[in-house]
Chains A and B, each alone.
Chain A
């Protein structure tokens, strides 16, 4: 596989998708039940997930997958919860933007934010923060 060619394609297309997600989230701020925007964010996250997985950018694929799944919940509900849901989606977008920028600059996406992943997967905020903080302490002890 010509990695350089696919990395260039990924950067171009992921950047366009992130801009579309940003525009759609701004639309959802005005109208949380706007179905075309709900669908678009879902599709763009799905597409980024597939491209990133093809290039072994696991952190991007994982975050895009969590965002896609969260959007599926909002699509089923017919609206975004604007108090908690929308800020979370903006955080997801920001996380993806950072990682795509890191790929552009260094060739690698870096690590994902475990708290954000947990929140997107539906964990309550205090529990997600606690789980993210306690993660390094969970190294298994030798008997």
Chain B
């Protein structure tokens, strides 16, 4: 079973992602509420995928991607962005994120993106 770590400072968004991916049989192994905690939980839980918000306290999602890539260059990170954050998304992709989804989340888009990054296996 694919193990997913969710990082977002809003519990609303964490719950929404959890509900979408639970329905397809993915296992949510942990949640993080800021850019420091997600790196700690990544080291502890070794998830297959991280769903990472861009705007978070303590350390941005982009800086968290950079930190995770230093630990595990093949880690699979999907950025959770909002409209108008195209530049930040590009920065995250350059930092090593594999793909992105845009809020408000459409369940089919979230699941399609997850399947795509897992099939790529990069």
Q: Show the binding face of A for B, using Cβ within 8 Å.
A: 1-2, 5-6, 9-10, 13, 39-40, 42-43, 46-47, 49-51, 53-54, 65, 69
Contacts and interface: CB of A to CB of B under 8 A. Distances in A.
Given A43-B55, A54-B104, A6 B9 contact: no
Contacts, number: 46
Given A13-B12, A51-B10, 7 more contacts: A5-B15, A9-B15, A10-B12, A43-B55, A47-B55, A53-B103, A54-B103
A50 B11 contact: no
B57 interface: yes
| Chain B: number of interface residues, binned into ranges | 10 to 19
A54 B55 contact: no
B105 interface: yes
A69 B103 CA distance: 17
A51 B82 contact: no
A54 B16 contact: yes
A46 B82 contact: yes
A46 B104 contact: no
16 contacts: A6-B12, A6-B16, A9-B11, A13-B10, A13-B11, A40-B57, A43-B55, A47-B13, A49-B82, A50-B10, A51-B10, A53-B103, A53-B104, A54-B12, A54-B104, A54-B105
